[in-house]
Structure 1
Amino acid sequence: MTMFTVIIPTFNHAEFLRRAIGSVINQSFSDWECLIIDNHSTDHTEEVVASFSDSRLRLLKIHNNGVIAASRNLGVENAQGEWLAFLDSDDFWYSSKLKVVSVEIAQNSQADVISTDELIVSNKSDKKVVLRYGPFCKDFYRILLMEGNRLSTSATVVRKSFLVDKKLRFREDCELVTVEDYDLWLRLAYEKADFAFVHSVEGEYLIHGGNSSANLARHYKNLNFMLHDHVFKVQNFTENNEKIWRLVSARVLLAEAVSVLKTGQWRRAFFLLLRAFYRAPLWLIRHVWTRLSRHRDLELV
């Protein structure tokens, strides 16, 4: 059996895809297959894939109706690897990525999910920020729900058998577009998956105008929908759903305020911030302090 199946969903990202596939071809670890899941692109995506003469590459087609989760799930269903390595078509890995993960697998037989670190790169700035994911800790589901996402899709590898055994996939609801990955990490944690975080920068995540999360209004609407679902229908660490929702929704409002502020919408950011602190002032102060403490090791490159 192949060790890794790399799953790359794509749509009209031919030149980004060329770089992503190239970064897989150039891996120092060779035991992999790569599935490119194309949402019937109208650019030269097929020519880009055909330009790589490697039998480990397979091109699959899907009409996903704008739901990238469907593309990722098609990759999961067709994967022959023991581990599923997700890579978005506008991101890329360094050549040591799969080797580093394979070493962690050999040393940590309990791991079900493995994440490396990555660079966050914007096409509007020369700055590159190292984002260190994790850490894994007790009550990880509660931590992910209350304090926020600690993983990134292109940095994450999941044991396929765990997904199969627990009947987990990316949820394909339209209301979860841009947050379907966070939802899966939550459900993996709920099912007691063991997460391992390797603090080695092994790829780059590109922020550009075409990213699905660039639509802030839709992103935060869907984020609220997904978290509300977890608070009221999934979580079982407390019966006080309303209190938990007040805290979680305050955190989301704060995050939205920061995102909106970066776009120059000062007035909207101010009112979002007011709403956040009205809901949970003391908890938000503690949350901000915790986040700042966690990210003190961020590096500007």
Structure 2
Amino acid sequence: MNEIVSVVIPTRNRPQLVQRAVKSALAQTLQQIEVIVVIDGIDELTYNTLTQINDERLKVIASPINQGSCAARDLGVSNALSDWIAFLDDDDEWMPQKLELQLAAAKASKYKYPIVSSCLIAQTSHGNLVYPRRVPGAEPLSEYLFVRNTLFQGEGLLQTSTLFTTKELLLKLPFSVCKNIHDDWEWLLRAITFESVGIEFVEQTLAIWHLEAGPSLSKNYNWRLSLSWLQTNRNLFTPRAYSSFVLAEVSARAALNRDWQAFILLLIEAVRFGKPKLRDICLCFGMWLLSPQIRSFLRNLLTKRQVLSPA
């Protein structure tokens, strides 16, 4: 059988979650696939759990050392047999038609290197929501991802478990060029600068993003690390997107510590190197004045695109 799509799943020390992810990949309506699980470091329990799945399409690569999710994804890509690659995080799941619909969108694309994404169900302890609330348009990718019109996350989103693209692009731009901090965002922002790369979007909900799954290979970074990453990659942002990232993404992390000196520092950063609007500054105040719990409650109350179950 000639594999049409190669699925790459990095994992470490989460055997039951990755087993669920693998089963959702193997249950795709598109049957001509291979599912490559890269175990990032010595992890016998995960390896033994995966060997219980009796499907010749599953391939397990056990890396002898822990190098992080970026290196694990690159290792999976280098071992892939297909020209098309789809990523799946070990704590997420796919809907059965995910690969079939994205492959069709990729083949119909005008771009040589399409990056295909989709809507997903964000599953939290407070309920399930459909993200993103708006799809990519003509605006620069950095503005789509980071400029907010509301206080709530999920407006613009290209989440890793929805990404589908060519192996050729991933060999030209491996994930390991990123720094294991905001690596998914950085990869997207770098990729879109390449000639013949463009975003395609399938508006069906094709994945389940488990936001309450616990620690993963993708870490929660503190605000100083996020700010340092942003400053290093300033060239990948428009001025508006730069200020929005500072006032929303970085500020949200700093607000958890209630360090008002950080608030002033970040406001100066946004004004000096970006082009914030009054709305951005008001949203920043909201990050500081409202707790994450209150914001989560309001988001679930006010967001219209809610779903009752992942079915």
Where on the TM-score scale, by shorter chain, does this alignment land: which range? 0.7 to 0.9
1:150 to 1:289, Cα distance in 2 relative to 1, 3 A: farther
Identity of aligned residues (%): 21
- What is the aligned counterpart of 1:158 among 165, 168, 173? 165
Q: Tell me how far apart the structure 2 counterparts of residues 190 and 85 of structure 1 sit (CA, whole Å).
A: 20
Q: Which residue of structure 1 lines up, in the alignment, with residue 288 of structure 2?
A: none
* Pairs aligned (count): 277
- What is the aligned counterpart of 2:203 among 194, 199, 205? 199
Aligned residue type for 2:206: E
1:1-301 matched pairs, under 5 angstroms: 1-42=2-43, 44-110=45-111, 112-122=114-124, 125-132=125-132, 135-138=135-138, 140-141=140-141, 143=143, 147=147, 150-164=157-171, 167-171=172-176, 176-192=179-195, 193-207=197-211, 208-213=213-218, 215-217=220-222, 220-231=223-234, 244=239, 248=242, 251-259=245-253, 265=256, 267-268=258-259, 271-278=261-268, 279-280=270-271, 283-287=276-280, 298-299=305-306, 301=308
Deviation at 1:107, TM superposition (A): 3.1
Question: Any idea what SS the aligned residue of 1:81 has?
Answer: coil
Deviation at 1:231, TM superposition (A): 1.9
1:188 to 1:172, Cα distance in 2 relative to 1, 3 A: closer
1:198 to 1:156, Cα distance in 2 relative to 1, 3 A: same
Q: Tell me how far apart the structure 2 counterparts of residues 254 and 162 of structure 1 sit (CA, whole Å).
A: 30
Aligned residue type for 1:255: E
TM-score (norm 1): 0.78
Deviation by residue 1:55-104 (Cα, 9 ceiling, x = unmatched): 11111122453421000000111111121100011111111111221222
1:289 to 1:27, Cα distance in 2 relative to 1, 3 A: farther
Aligned residue type for 1:211: S
Deviation by residue 1:157-187 (Cα, 9 ceiling, x = unmatched): 01122334xx2101356xx224111111011
Deviation at 1:116, TM superposition (A): 1.2
1:198 to 1:136, Cα distance in 2 relative to 1, 3 A: same
Aligned residue type for 2:205: V
Unaligned runs of 5+ in 2: 149-155, 284-298
Question: Any idea what SS the aligned residue of 1:129 has?
Answer: strand
TM-score (norm 2): 0.76
- Worse overlay, 140-149 or 198-207: 140-149
Q: Is the 8 A contact 2:41 2:66 kept in 1?
A: no
Question: Any idea what SS the aligned residue of 2:47 has?
Answer: helix
Q: Is the 8 A contact 1:253 1:272 kept in 2?
A: no
1:32 to 1:266, Cα distance in 2 relative to 1, 3 A: same
Q: Tell me how far apart the structure 2 counterparts of residues 146 and 228 of structure 1 sit (CA, whole Å).
A: 15
Aligned residue type for 1:143: E
Deviation at 1:34, TM superposition (A): 0.8
Aligned residue type for 2:180: V
Question: Any idea what SS the aligned residue of 2:43 has?
Answer: coil
Deviation by residue 1:249-287 (Cα, 9 ceiling, x = unmatched): 5633432333565xxx4723x554444444439714345
Q: Which residue of structure 2 lines up, in the alignment, with residue 240 of structure 1?
A: none
Aligned residue type for 1:120: A
1:134 to 1:178, Cα distance in 2 relative to 1, 3 A: farther
Aligned residue type for 1:188: A
Kindly report the root-mean-square deviation, in angstroms, between the aligned alpha carbons of the 2 structures.
Answer: 3.2
Unaligned runs of 5+ in 1: 238-243
Q: Which residue of structure 2 lines up, in the alignment, with residue 241 of structure 1?
A: none
Deviation by residue 1:167-224 (Cα, 9 ceiling, x = unmatched): 2101356xx224111111011111141110111111111123313555331xx44433
Q: Is the 8 A contact 1:130 1:201 kept in 2?
A: yes
